[in-house]
């Protein structure tokens, strides 16, 4: 049974985070998900997800639905959380969406919140780190930070739709994103459509 860390940062893309969290919970092999939502992500999620009020419990329900105890939410300022240490075993981390500010912190090794620290731990322990970036256009600083993160071992995963699947609605695009990220984590699933299938 495996555990994963999911960071949600303040770029547009709350729907992607919600779909991924709910999708990874469909994988029986996944025992627990640790979720960290940055302060700016909380603002973005309230703007993007319908019916999310000011209370934290509503935000968590909007992201995870009814996780049946398989999700642990950590405060972004809790630098003493279990996932801040390399001695706590987990199987990898996904940051979805990954803001350029978060990318910059990770690529320079600066940890000012739990998402940055957990990503740094993931890299130093040689675990999979997937950065689902959400920004356009990209400037030269972004590009340099993407190269630095890739050279450190991160997988750069731009949230770019696959149109060969002929999506008829946004949910199909989101499912395809989640399916490809699960592939990167080598987790079995039956989501999305594969080329030639």
Give me the residue spans of the domains in the chain.
2-184
Amino acid 169: pLDDT: 93
Residue 39: CB atoms within 10 A of its CB come to 12
Amino acid 57: pLDDT: 81
Amino acid 80: pLDDT: 95
Amino acid 77: pLDDT: 96
Amino acid 67: pLDDT: 63
Residue ranges for the chain with pLDDT beneath 50: none
Amino acid 195: pLDDT: 79
Query: Residue 197 is encoded by which pair of tokens?
Result: 């299938």
Amino acid 34: pLDDT: 96
- Domain 2-184 superfamily per CATH: Flavin prenyltransferase-like (3.40.50.1950)
Cβ-contact 193, 176 below 8 angstroms: yes
Q: Which residues, 6+ apart, have CB-to-CB distance to 95 below 8 Å?
A: 6, 7, 8, 9, 102, 115, 119, 129, 130, 131, 132
Q: Determine how β-strand 129-133 pairs with β-strand 155-156.
A: parallel
Average pLDDT, the chain: 93
């Amino acid at each position: 049974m495996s555990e994963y860390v999911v960071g949600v940062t303040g770029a547009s893309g709350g729907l992607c985070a919600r779909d991924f969290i709910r999708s990874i919970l469909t994988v029986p092999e996944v025992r627990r998900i640790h979720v960290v939502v940055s302060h700016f992500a909380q603002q973005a999620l309230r703007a993007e997800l319908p019916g999310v009020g000011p209370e934290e419990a509503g935000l968590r329900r909007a992201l995870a639905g009814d996780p049946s105890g398989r999700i642990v939410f950590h405060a972004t300022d809790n630098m003493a959380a279990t996932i801040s240490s390399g001695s706590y075993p987990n199987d990898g981390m996904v940051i979805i969406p990954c803001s350029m500010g978060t990318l910059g912190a990770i690529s320079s090794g600066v940890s000012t919140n739990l998402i940055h620290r957990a990503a740094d731990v993931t890299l130093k322990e040689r675990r999979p780190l997937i950065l689902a970036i959400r920004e356009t256009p990209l400037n030269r600083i972004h590009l340099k930070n993407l190269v630095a993160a890739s050279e450190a071992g991160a997988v750069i995963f731009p949230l770019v739709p696959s149109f060969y699947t002929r999506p008829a609605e946004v949910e199909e695009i989101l499912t395809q994103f989640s399916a490809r990220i699960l592939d990167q984590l080598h987790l079995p699933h039956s989501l999305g459509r594969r080329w030639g299938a």
